[in-house]
Structures are given as C-alpha cells and as structure tokens.
Amino acid sequence: MSSPLVLLAPLPGWCMPLAEVPDAVFAQGLAGDGVAIDPTAGVLVAPCEGEIVPMQDSRHAITLRTAIGVDVLIHVGIDTVGLGGEGFELLVRSGERVRAGQELMRFDLDRLARRVPSLATPIVLPAGGVVVSRFAGRAVKAGEPLMQIVAGTAGAARAEGGEEIRRSLAIAFDHGLHVRPASQVVAALRPFAAEVSLDFRGRSASARSTVAMMSLGAQRGDVVQARARGVDAAQALDALAALLPAAERPASQAMVARVVAAGTDLRRIEASIASRGIAIGRVVAWTQPDLPVAEQGADESAERAALDRAIARVRRHLEEAGRAARGERGALLAAHAELAGDPELRSRAEEWLRRGKSAAYAWRRATRAVAESLAALEDARMRERAADLRDLEGQVLHALAGQDPGTVRRFDPTAIVVAADLPPSAVLAMERGAVGGICTARGGPTSHMAILAAAAGIPALVAAGPRVLELAEGTPVVLDAEHGWLDVDPPRAEIAAIERAVAQREHERAADAAAAMSEARTRDGVRVRVNANLGSLDEVAPAVESGAEGCGLLRTEFLYLERAQAPGEDEQAAEYQRIATALGGRPLAIRTLDPGGDKPIAYLPMPREDNPALGMRGLRASLWAPELLRAQLRAILRVRPAGQCRILLPMVTDVEEVRAIRRIAVECAGELGMAELPALGAMIETPAAALAADSLAEAADFLSIGSNDLAQYTLAIDRGHPELARRLDALHPAVLRLIALVAEAAGARAKPVSLCGALASDVDALPILIGLGVIEISAAPAMIPRLKRTARALDAAQCREIAHRALELATAAEVRDLAAVARARSRAASEALDGGKP
C-alpha cells in the first residue's frame, strides 16, 4: 500500500460522517467513501495538488485527480444539480493543474440555503481509493487535515474473458447522469464481476466510476450504448436496464415522461398554520348534513316551550364544558353559552313562532339570518363568527330532536379531517389523539376552530383553498403545521422519514418539559427571557408549569366582554391580584383595554366605523372613554407587591398619547396615596410607532412589539383574512426592518424591549430576534419549553450575522429559509458540544 495522501478541508464548517447527510446515495456510501462538511463560507479550495477532471455541464461539483491517481469528488449541497449552475462560479477549467488551497469555486451560500434541502457538501472517493483515517464530528477550517487516503480498491476483482454484450439504453433521470443516478448505477453493478462501460457521442466511461459517467454529460432522453464483458455480463446489463429503460422499447419515451412527471408534481397544498404539529394519515371528509326540519308548528306555546328547553339544554352543556376547560378554550365555551341566550336571536325566532312555524324552523331562520349578515361584512373576523352561529344552530336542533347537543362524528385517530370549515363544536369533541389533524379550505388563524385546535394540541391548517376539498377519501397525506403545507400522497420513503421526525419531536417534547424550569442562555451566555401571553387566571398555572418566567402580556378584555356593564375597580383589582399571586412574584405586564375591531363592547357604544381596524382601537378608545381607563389604572395600581406589575399601553401611534396616559396614571396614583408609578410601556403595533421609536423610548419605560398587528398594518393584510392569511408573515423583511429600528432605539436609551404575538412563538424566528437585540419574548405557554431549548442551542454572535443577512433579503420565504438553516446548524453544533444529546 502506498503512503497515505492527506486531504485538506476544502471548506470551513461542521465536518460530519456521510451517514448524517440527508441523502441516501451519499449516506449509504453509494457515491463512495468520505466525509461531508456543512459549510459556513461560499469558497471552495483544492484539498490537495491535482488535476481537474472534465465533468460536462457541472458547476455544482468538482472532481480532482490526485497525484496518487485517486479521484476526489466534491459535491456542493444536496439536489443542487437542479439549479442548473445558478449561484455557482467556477474558477478553474477542465484539465487545469491546481495547487492545494487554490480557489476552485465560489457559490452564493445564502441563495443555495433557500433553494436546496441541505448545504451538506460530501467529499468522497468515487472509485479507486480507500480512506484510511478521517476527522469527522468537529468544526474544521479550510486547509485543516480532513482525511488520509491511499490508492487501491475496496471492490472485488473483475472477471475477464467472454463475449462482449451491447444494449442501447435511455437516460430517464431528470438531470441526466449526475452524481445520484451515476451512484445508483455503480451500486446496481456491485454484485456482478463483469466489466461494464457506457459509450456516448464518441466518449467511453466505466459504469463502475461515478466520476467517469458524470463526465459523459448524458442528459435525460439521451441514448447511451452499454457494453459488458464477463461471465455474468448479461445479468449485469439486466440490472442496468432496470435503471435505464431500453431505448428500442416503443414505450420508452412514455416511461421517461412518467418519471419526469412524478418528479415534478410536488402535490403540495400551502396553507396557514392554525395549530403547530405534524400528522400523517388519510383524508376523511367532514360532513354535517342539515337535520330535517318541519316548517309548520303544532302549537305556538308548545313550540316556544320546546325551543326554551332546547336552548337551556345547550347552554348547560356549554357551561359545564366551559367549567371543565381552561384558558381560551373555557372562555370560548362561555362565550358560546352567552350566544345561545342572545336576545336578538330569540327575538328573530319569536317572529317565526308567531307565524305558526315550528321551533326548529324558527331557530334555523333566526340563526341563518344573523349569520348571513355577519358573512356579508368586510371584517374577516366577523365573517368567521358566522361559522359559530351555524354551529350553534346545529346544537339547538340536535337538542330539539332529543339528541345530545355535542353529537359529532367520531373519527379514526389517524384521520386528517378535511372540511370547507369546521364548527367549533366538532373541535370541542376532539382531544389530542382523537384525530391526526385538521385542514380546512377556509377560515383564518384567529378563528375559534384554530384556537380550539391549538388548545387541544391537534395539528391544524386553515385557508388551504378549494383544492383540499377535491381530495379523495382515504388519500394518504402529511399535514405539516410547522411549515404550513399539506403533502398529498407522498412517497413511502418520505413518510418513513417524517415518522422518524415525529418520533424525534415527541422525544424532544418530553426533554423540553423536563428542562422547562431552567433559564435559557445562548451558547455564548446571552440571557433570553421567555414569558407567557395570558388571557385569564385559568391560564396562569399551565404557563408556570411550562416554564414561563412571567407574563409579558395579560389581555384584559376577558373582564369586559360578554357582559351588560363594565367591571368595577374592585372587581378588576381582585382579579389582577389573583393573577399576580398565582404568578408567584414573577413579572406581570397588564395591557389596558384594547376594544374595537373584532372586540365590540355593548356598553361602550362607539361611533360607526367603515374600517374598525383603522378606527377606535387601543389608546384611542381608552382616551375616548376616560372613566373606564381611570378605573382600570387604579385597579392595576392596587396590585401588591407594587413592583410586580407593569402597565402596557396598546396601539400607541403618537408620543403624546403616552404622555397623556402617564398624566392620568400619576393622578390615579396620587388618589391612592402612591408616590411612584409602575413601569409604563408602549406597544409598537404600527409602522408609525416603529418609525417614532426614538421619541416613544424617551416617553415610555419600556417597549413591547406586537408582531401580529405590526405585520398586518405593514403588509396591508388583515390577519384574519381567510384568503390572504397565508401571505401574512411577520418575518417579512419590511417588518423585520421596523423591529430592528425599535430594538436599536430602545438599546440606545437602555430601555427594555420585548416582543409578543405569533412571531414570539415561532422557533424559526428566534435566531433573528436575538440577532436584532430582542432577548425578551412573550409566547403561547405551550411553546415555552421548545423556545427555551432553541435559545440554548443558539450563538448570539452568529444570530447577529443571520439577522443582518435577513434584513437584506427580499421576501419572507427567503428569511424563513435562512432562519431554518441557521437554527439547524446551531442545533447540530450544540448537540456536538453536548455529546449528541438533543
């Protein structure tokens, strides 16, 4: 055996065994032995002295023939052949002699990260070489020792003699004989002793050499001549023909077309995420046929009494379920119970009863009339409430028919329930494990269905469009509510990979729960505080159990909605005190009342508004009704200990609003004999507030970025719009640039800045937020353990680099691709430091 040749790392990055490359051809060694590097820079240098081997039409891979005659293939990224050379710049020519460390190629690292499954770059010996040592499982710099190789072969000796057999074969692979199909050819011939070669346009290549076949430049549809010699030559060509259909077959072109069609039809339906998670199962269409209803009633008084009993039964059913539920689920059930007794609905039903109609007919006409009026409104969230009324209609009709008001269809635990829309009662009957997942054609991420699915832990997608309604019953699907799509009839290999990912996620969930109470620090020591968004006292205990370090946003609307008059100061003070006590001294940011929009208040009759989202919202409404504001401020000031609470002001657009509230708060404090105010914060929810962050940071004690409203006002998309919701993404560069302005303004004045809203619960967003200087977030309680684990895997210095790159991108999709790649790299580095533990 010759002396080993040392190959140097051609790229900086994380060096991994081939088995960890997310591609079966490389991971199983079909392309040759070696290692892979996940690069951190876009410059590829020569690993040793050698000669560039010709490779037709290949800009994403380079083969170097070394001084000992062993070829070294360097394949940048996975599936990069499909880019057609886009993003790559070759700096050398075929046949050129190069020295170790010489630049061979430049490539756009960020661009590739957005376009391909992985940047992992295999460095392999396709034929005629053996790896005697390697240095995987660590970070490497370009030019550091990577592998030692010697000349030789790991294969068996080939048989000689016998007649030569020839066949004409067609290339059926999408991108021709690139590394993956060439490696499959090598693997298919491995059991045979025959020598096999391919001839194409006057050139010949060994079918046992990946590099040699790639150098032919044969593309899809080209015909090559296969030659085999040896005792098992015929069997070898039979194995080859299983990959490359015989060119003389009349059906060969149709076969090629089918292969191409199968490769290009992604069958992916994009949608909006309503409840995070991944589910694998089969489509089950949700249907709820109308119950038969007799139009004419027997007796007006009897029909009225029957309707009274049915409504009372539904209300009891909802109230009992609400008392057993927690958080938003319980609040929603209570709201539905109130809706069942709504006087407007009852008044409309009475009109039909007086005309001699049956109780069922009267109730249906009443609910549908109101539902139709809501569905005609411009406000998308009001249109969603029409679905609640249709659901309530069905529950009362079931009760009138002597059935359980909560009667719904039962499903197989693996069912992916598909519907145009799904009534809240159907979701209320589902718990984790009752179904695999939910996907609706309509609806939005703020719908009651979405809230209930999240509370039940059911992966759910909404606003998927009419294509989902065309899926046949029983169609295999993968519902990915982490990324926002439904994959239809995916390949078995893909399902197996997703099943492994789901099992890994369950393992991680258990590990996250065990570490939930520990604080989160990045690998370089930056403290990241993770608080919870809360909407009632019932939500505090689950949040604390999930590791919440405080409440970054208490929505106080729960005290004001669904009642005939405003809550008094004493009632509010008592409720805020119970929440503060339950938090056990942890910080509590209480947001003052934010009425308007989709939260109308009966006893606060505001002027009619054509566009409520641009009208009396937040502080504008509070200043318009100062007595309500004063009562709330006094109630907050009464909470003890005094330093636990912070006052958070919603929808600030002007510094004078903050000053006005501070003056009122000072007066209230004086009335209570208090010398100092708690911290007073401004919510940044509009572009105007973000652009005025300098002056707001001067007037307020802290800033809190509300990502939901900031995104919808910046991108001019209603966050509840069923058709546009999927295009509303707070990781859009325009929104991120505003967040960067706010973080910079707060930092310059040493004022704390936090972020709440859906973006705070988004693990892919966390590296960018930390990089922008937002190291305090307030998230959905269920996401807190996962967010903490994500933060622990990050490096704040690298996050700053990622954030800087994100601000220069053009679309939210590009930012998400960058963030996902960055998070995956950070996790791999963290696991390596921890000895492989997730």
Rounded distance between C-alpha atoms, residue 102 and residue 481, angstroms: 45
Rounded distance between C-alpha atoms, residue 485 and residue 481, angstroms: 7
- Other beta carbons less than 10 A from residue 466's beta carbon: 9
**Cβ proximity of 479 and 437 under 8 Å:** yes
Q: Is 205 helix (H, G, I), strand (E, B) or coil?
A: strand
Rounded distance between C-alpha atoms, residue 239 and residue 242, angstroms: 5
Rounded distance between C-alpha atoms, residue 627 and residue 397, angstroms: 43
Rounded distance between C-alpha atoms, residue 453 and residue 450, angstroms: 5
Q: What is the DSSP string of 50-97?
A: EEEPP-TT-SSEEEEEETTS-EEEEE-SBSGGGGTTTTEEE-S-TT-E
Identify the burial level of 242 via C-beta atoms within 10 angstroms of its C-beta, where 0-12 means exposed, 13-18 middle and 19 or more buried: exposed
Identify the burial level of 492 via C-beta atoms within 10 angstroms of its C-beta, where 0-12 means exposed, 13-18 middle and 19 or more buried: exposed
Sheet containing 129-134, strands listed edge to edge, beginning at the edge strand earlier in sequence: 5-8, 145-151, 129-134
Q: What is the DSSP string of 240-301?
A: HHTTS-BTTSTTHHHHHHHHHHHHH---EEE-EEEE--EEEEEEEE---PPPP--SB-S-HH
Residue 273 bridge partners (DSSP):
461
**Which one-letter amino acid corresponds to residue 679?**
A
**Cβ proximity of 190 and 166 under 8 Å:** no
Rounded distance between C-alpha atoms, residue 132 and residue 33, angstroms: 10
Q: Are strands 527-534 and 776-779 parallel, antiparallel or unpaired?
A: parallel
Rounded distance between C-alpha atoms, residue 273 and residue 726, angstroms: 8
Q: What is the DSSP string of 402-453?
A: TS-TT------TTEEEEES---HHHHHT--BTTBSEEEESS--TTSHHHHHH
The one-character DSSP state at 717 is -
**Cβ proximity of 694 and 741 under 8 Å:** no
Q: Which residues contact 342 (CB under 8 A, 6 or more apart)?
A: none
Per the listing, tokens 């009897």 go with 302
Q: What are phi and psi of 15, to 5 degrees?
A: -90, 130
Q: What is the DSSP string of 353-377?
A: HHTTB-HHHHHHHHHHHHHHHHHTS
Residue 139 bridge partners (DSSP):
14
CA 412 centroid distance within chain = 26
Which helix (DSSP H) or strand (DSSP E) does residue 169 occupy?
strand 164-170
Q: Of the candidates 209, 246, 255, which has an alpha carbon nearest to the alpha carbon of residue 226? A: 246
Q: Of the candidates 342, 403, 399, which has an alpha carbon nearest to the alpha carbon of residue 370? A: 342
**Cβ proximity of 622 and 593 under 8 Å:** yes
- Report the first-to-last Cα separation within the chain, whole angstroms: 41
Alpha carbon distances (Å) from 765 to 444, 546, 730, 770, 772? 21, 20, 9, 9, 11
Task: Say what angle helices 796-807 and 733-748 make with each other, to 10 degrees.
Answer: 130
Catalytic positions: 448, 756
Instruction: Show the tokens assigned to 442.
Output: 């309509």
